[in-house]
Amino acid sequence: MNSMYVQGNSFLHQLDPRTKILFVFSIILFVFLFYDPMFQFLVTVSLLPIVFLSGLTTPYLKTVKFMFLLVFLIITVHGLYNPMGDVTKVTWQLTENLSFKHDALIYGAVMSFRILSIGTATLLFVMSTHPSDLANALVKWKVPHAVAFMILSTFQLIPIIGREAKVIMEAQQARCLDVKANMIQRVKHLIPLFAPLFITSFMRVHQMSQVLECRGFSSTGPKTSLREMTIGFRDYAFLTAIALFALAAITLRAVVGGTLLPITDFVLMSALIGIWIVCSIYFFDFLWKSVRKKVV
Partner 1 sequence: MENKAIKVENLTFRYPDAESDTLKNISFELDYGEVLGIIGPNGAGKTTLAMALKGLIPHTVDGEIQGKIIVDGKDVLKHDISEQVLNSGLVFQDPEGQLSQMSVEEEVAFGLGNIGVPRAEMVKRIEKALQTVGLAGFEKRSPLALSGGQQQRLAIASVMAMEPSIMMMDEPTTMLDPVGKNEVFKVLKSLKEKGMTGVIIEHEIERLTMYCDKILVLHEGESILFGTPKEIFSDLMLLKKFKLRGPQVTEVAYEVFNDKEQIPVVLDEAVQSFSKELKA
Partner 2 sequence: MKNKLSTLVVAMIPAGIALNWVANSIVEMLKLPLFLNNIGNVLNAIVLGPWWGVATAVLTNLVIGLTTRWTIIPFALVGAVVALLGYWFFKKGFFKSIPKVIAAGAITGVIASALGSAVAVYVFGGFAGAGVDILTAGLVAMGNSIAVSNLIANFPGTFLDKILTFWVVFSILRIFPVRFLPNAKKIQEGLGMNKGKKKDDKAA
Contacts of 232 (CB under 8 A, 6+ apart): 16
Q: Is the dihedral of CA 56, 59, 65, 66 positive or negative?
A: negative
Q: Which positions from 102 to 141 touch partner 1 by CB under 8 A, shown as an x/- string? A: ----------------------------xxx---------
Kindly provide the residue ranges of all beta strands, DSSP E only, lying in the chain, ordered along the sequence: 90-95, 98-101
Stretch of 33-41, 61-69, 251-259, 262-270 lying at the interface with partner 2 (CB under 8 A): 61-69
3-state class (DSSP) for residue 90:
strand
Q: Please calculate the CA angle 133-136-141 and round it to the nearest 5 degrees.
A: 130
Contacts of 218 (CB under 8 A, 6+ apart): 212
Minimum distance of partner 2 from residue 150's CB (angstroms): 5
DSSP-derived secondary structure letter, 227: S
Residue type, 143: V
Q: Which positions from 211 to 240 touch partner 2 by CB under 8 A, shown as an x/- string? A: -xx---xx----------------------
Question: Quick one: 36 or 133, whose CB is closer to partner 1?
Answer: 133
Q: Which positions from 142 to 181 touch partner 2 by CB under 8 A, shown as an x/- string? A: --x-xx-xxx-xxx-xx-xxx--x---x---------x--
Q: Which does 176 bind (CB under 5 to 8 A by kind): partner 2, partner 1, none?
A: none
Q: Are 15 and 234 in contact (CB under 8 A)?
A: yes
**Does the protein bind partner 1 through residue 50 (CB under 8 A)?**
no
**Does the protein bind partner 2 through residue 191 (CB under 8 A)?**
yes
Q: Which does 132 bind (CB under 5 to 8 A by kind): partner 1, partner 2, none?
A: partner 1
Contacts of 278 (CB under 8 A, 6+ apart): 68
Q: Which of 185, 47, 178 is nearest to 125 (CA)?
A: 47
Residue type, 82: N
Binds partner 2 by CB under 8 A, chosen from 25, 141, 198, 288 = 198
CA pair distance 108, 77, nearest whole angstrom? 8
Count residues binding partner 1 (CB under 8 A): 33
Q: Which positions from 100 to 139 touch partner 2 by CB under 8 A, shown as an x/- string? A: -------xx--x---x--xx--xx--x----x--x-----
Binds partner 1 by CB under 8 A, chosen from 142, 180, 215, 292 = 215
Contacts of 294 (CB under 8 A, 6+ apart): none
CA pair distance 82, 103, nearest whole angstrom? 9
Minimum distance of partner 2 from residue 208's CB (angstroms): 4
b/e map 271-293, b = 16+ CB within 10 Å? bbeebeebbeebeeeeeeeeeee
Point out which residues bind partner 1 (CB under 8 A). 130-132, 149, 152-153, 155-157, 159-160, 204, 207-211, 213-228
Contact residues: partner 2, CB under 8 A: 1-4, 66-67, 69-70, 73-74, 76-78, 80-83, 107-108, 111, 115, 118-119, 122-123, 126, 131, 134, 144, 146-147, 149-151, 153-155, 157-158, 160-162, 165, 169, 179, 183, 186-187, 189-191, 193-195, 197-199, 201-206, 208-210, 212-213, 217-218
